[in-house]
Chains A and B, each alone.
Chain A
Amino acid sequence: MRVLLNFVKGFSATGKTLRMVLLLFVINLLFSMILAFPMYSSLKSSFGQSLVGENMAEGFDYLWWGEFMDSAKGLETTFSPSIIGKGAILNNLENLIQFRFFVLPSVIIILGILYLLLHTFLAGGILSIFMKDTPRFSMKEFFNGAGTYFIRFFLLMLISWVFFFFIGSFLGGQFNRIINNVSKNSLSEVTPFYLGLLFSAIIFFLLLFIQMVFDYGRIKIVLEDSRNVLRSASEAFVFVFKHLGSTLGLYYLIFLVNVVITLIYVLLKGLVPQSAFLTVFIAFLIQQVFIFAIIWLRCWLYSSQMELYRYLK
């Protein structure tokens, strides 16, 4: 019950800070646009004056894509039919769970790290807004909070990386070893497949779990103005384990909303044929609403978790 209560409270608090969500969305869009321009230019140049442009406007010209990929460099190598609809989400999910971000072109990795740092900075602003009994977005307070907590959040992030590294490198490595051994001695691909699926689920769960714990670490720093980052992290672990049902319940409730939104997006995206400027624009709008919703969910998670922390404390 208390999970639902804080879930609703968090929803209401996020609803009052739409401008903040909008700001975060714009930052995401602008960051991504940095790379969208070179991609646009590559595609435009590859289509050139060829009739391939017509084919690609109507559908997907697989033959062209083969040619494009055979000479692709850097950013261009990320363009594939699997970025369409559900593929975009599945690509990212698989890259995340299998820690394959580092196979992406360096320009995306660099921008991704910068985006991560920026978000670490912005998280202070988000939480300082939600800290108030009646959250209201003000640019000054937002950036003031961001500046106040950045160093501590940054250190917290470094601590979290130890856990992420453990999951990705050690645990992931061990899991891979087990799968390889089982696979090597198996007469069927079924066992290694299910084992792989199970290990992926475990890694995914652990990644989300660590994120959740460090969310509470950040909340603790903001609410208690704690200066000791290490202590905040360890107390966050204690807090989560003490209230495992509530913290996980809340987290997975919002995760479920995320899944539903993603499914709706995939469904809607598939319904829009993009062969005219108007439909391309409508599809673009649907995409941006989806990204906005994802960012909004992140804020919702923060505000709900803060409400829950307050409630349980």
Chain B
Amino acid sequence: MKKIMDIWIKEGRLPNKFLVVSFILLSTLGTFLFSADEPLCKQVANYTMNVNLDTEKNIITCTELLSWTNDSETSTDELWFHLYWNAFQNNMSTFLREGTRRGRRVTGFREEDWGYCRVESIKIAQNDFFDEYDLLPTMNFRQPDDDNAFDQTVFSVKLPKPIEPGQTILLNIDFQSRVPRPVSRTGVFKDYYFIAQWFPKIGVFQDGRWNCHQFHASSEFFADYGTYDVQITLPSSFIIGATGEYRENVDNSDGTITHYFLQHSVHDFAWTASPRFLKYEDNFEFAPGKTTEITLLLQPYHENLKERYMNAIKNAIKYCSLWYGDYPYSTATCVDPAYNSRSGGMEYPTFFTGGAYFITRKGISRPEGVTIHEFGHGYFYGLIGSNEFENPWMDEGMNSFLDTEVYYAAYGEPFYSKMYFGIPVTFKNVKIPIESVGISRHRLTSNMDDMQRFSWHFMEGGSYGANSYAKGQLMMLTLKRFMGKELFAKMIKAYSLRNWFKHPCPKDFYNIVSEFAGQDMSWLLDQFIYGSGKLDYAIGNIINQRPRQHKGLFGGKFKEEKKADLKEILYESDVLVRRLGEVKIPVEVLVIFEDGQEIKEKWDGQYRWKKFTYKRPHLINTAIVDPEFKLVLDVNRTNNSMTKKHNKIAPLKWTSTWLLWLQHAFEFFTLFGG
């Protein structure tokens, strides 16, 4: 069978009838043509694609055979598709309109720089449920989100009859795309190709409607799981990497090679090609008896970063497997993106991009941070299949939490660093604690919006970032410390494993948190997820008073107590704890007396303040609200503590340090004069 295919590949495109037969086999037998592996989940959207890349014209021609099963409980007489690359066909697309408003401008584009994806033919192939039928006349561009008539990133076709629940439809789609100059995540720069979101991709039919949003400037993706069986023909000088297992290649004897990739149980397929890649492979055993094949495609000028990249990928696989479930795929491919390609820091199933600078230092989190982050998406975006359009925090926020946890576990606290003349310089006496990651973004912008919003509904890009990434991450860390490390670990692993291949929504997260907490946790999660209030608890003041001596008329008799009359000196002391933010959450308060004795108090945190009063032989020295730093979302940690013996050295020390900088700057000024 494979030999026959090879001949056909050499001759050109695969005949559609062959593809149809293959797919009927796939659908009915539930197995895979060239893989003995069992799929990990129900294969709803299966693609067989025969791709040809013309590197002279940057044109992709492709024959796509799609097998789609109606996995819902409702019938539909329409099919909706994404055509993401049409976001790059002119400046009026929703993506570029929104992007321009957010500072992502497209300038200096020549005619050949604009990309597109054009469906040239779309036909139903005959199977048990449908007869052959040409759908092209019914093709209609849709704008479900903003009615922007120029936007052609979504289209629908009308079926001759409804497709009932459980039925499968086969579609033959021919399309041609022009690879855009990179605007965002995908495109061609010189001979570096990064091809993502590039083919007509069916939306998700759920709850009786098509979940198929337009491509927005800040939205990512959502799709159903299936098998991708892809053959890519390119000039033989190119080194290629893609989603899934690399099965084999065929030399076409015309200067091109056809590469064959297969992956099941994923919801996307992306690939890259460049003649310059340095390719490294390593079989990594991340748990006893469990291995995955790591491929690293490195830019030649980043050769010195090979080990750092490899270690980061291994750490990511190791810790993610431990905390979120064993990595189930046999491959993980990391691409070091070319400079200017704008393809860095993106995730696709089993395939992701890092990002690096050719000079780095120990203690700087690049390339490790981004590599771990993008691999981590393989869980929340990949395996769990969160809807990034509608619930961005469920991917970006949770994954930012994942990446910081993995990074800090594997490498410890990074150092503060700054670039001077393009050279990173580390300040080893300044470490960046995990609690500080993202807190500034949260503090400055997160009250613009609730965290739970559609990604394009945020007030501005900064608010999308702060809420989806920073607040989501800090909420998870707060939850971890609030619930307790062990309980949280069990909960998050269960959340991950139970939702693999499921597309969970916020309600699923609520349910599992509540289940593990043993109580309904919506009182807390509502404030974080559906609220924009800030969390800020503070020590208002500490008052220590000497005991009062009785003086005046008591029971009609004059009394004047002298100091000596007091048998025991009991100071009257108060600690005022305040809730300055809107978020209400129980907190602990630690009160430390001058003799070193400590008292831990609990406050429900409901009213605006609470006063703790003591009568003790010693004065209060220090009070700390949230002493174990559980509430990482607290926007002001400085006001969480107060001490009667505050440090007088610190302001002197740092003013003196700053003074040197200023004195030196003034001397530098003199270069321009005296």
Contacts and interface: CB of A to CB of B under 8 A. Distances in A.
B421 A200 contact: yes
Interface in A57-73: 57, 59-60, 62-64, 66-67, 69-70
A108 B430 CA distance: 26
Contact of A32 (B430, B649, B663): B663
B597 interface: no
Interface stretch (A8-16, A232-240, A277-285): A277-285
A83 interface: yes
B458 to A, nearest CB: 20
Contacts, number: 259
B649 A275 contact: yes
Contacts of A88: 657, 660-661, 664
Interface of B: 189-190, 192, 276, 299-301, 338-340, 357-359, 416, 418, 420-422, 425, 427, 429-433, 435-436, 439-440, 443-444, 622, 624, 635-644, 646-674
Given A35-B662, A63-B637, A207 B674 contact: no
Given A94-B420, A121-B674, A56 B656 contact: no
Given A66-B439, A116-B672, A116-B674, A28 B658 contact: no
A78 B332 CA distance: 44
B535 to A, nearest CB: 14
B82 to A, nearest CB: 30
Interface of A: 28-29, 31-33, 35-36, 39-40, 43-44, 46-54, 56-57, 59-60, 62-64, 66-67, 69-70, 78-79, 81-97, 101, 104, 108, 111-113, 115-123, 153, 157, 160-161, 164, 183-190, 193, 196-197, 200, 207-208, 211, 274-277, 280, 283-284, 287, 290-291, 294-295, 298
23 contacts: A28-B663, A40-B655, A47-B650, A50-B646, A52-B637, A63-B436, A64-B637, A69-B440, A81-B427, A83-B660, A94-B421, A96-B668, A118-B674, A119-B670, A188-B299, A190-B301, A190-B358, A193-B422, A197-B421, A211-B672, A274-B653, A277-B649, A287-B660
A43 B647 CA distance: 12
Contacts of B444: 70
Given A83-B657, A94-B420, A123-B674, A53 B666 contact: no
B636 to A, nearest CB: 6
B427 A82 contact: yes
B430 A160 contact: no
A59 B433 CA distance: 13
Contacts of B622: 51
A160 B657 contact: no
Contacts of B663: 28-29, 32, 287, 291
B651 A160 contact: no
A36 B655 contact: yes
The 3 closest A-B pairs by CB, nearest first: A119-B674, A53-B647, A123-B674
Given A43-B651, A117-B673, 4 more contacts: A108-B665, A187-B189, A187-B299, A189-B358
Given A40-B651, A88-B660, A53 B673 contact: no
A64 B443 CA distance: 13
Contacts of A46: 638
A84 B430 contact: yes
A173 B655 CA distance: 35
Contacts of B430: 59-60, 62, 81, 84
A74 to B, nearest CB: 13
A50 B653 contact: no
A89 B664 contact: yes
B643 A50 contact: yes
B416 to A, nearest CB: 5
B297 to A, nearest CB: 14
A171 to B, nearest CB: 16
Contact of A56 (B192, B642, B643, B650): B650
A53 B661 contact: no
B599 to A, nearest CB: 17
A67 B640 CA distance: 13
A86 B667 CA distance: 16
B638 A32 contact: no
A66 B429 contact: no
A188 B301 contact: yes
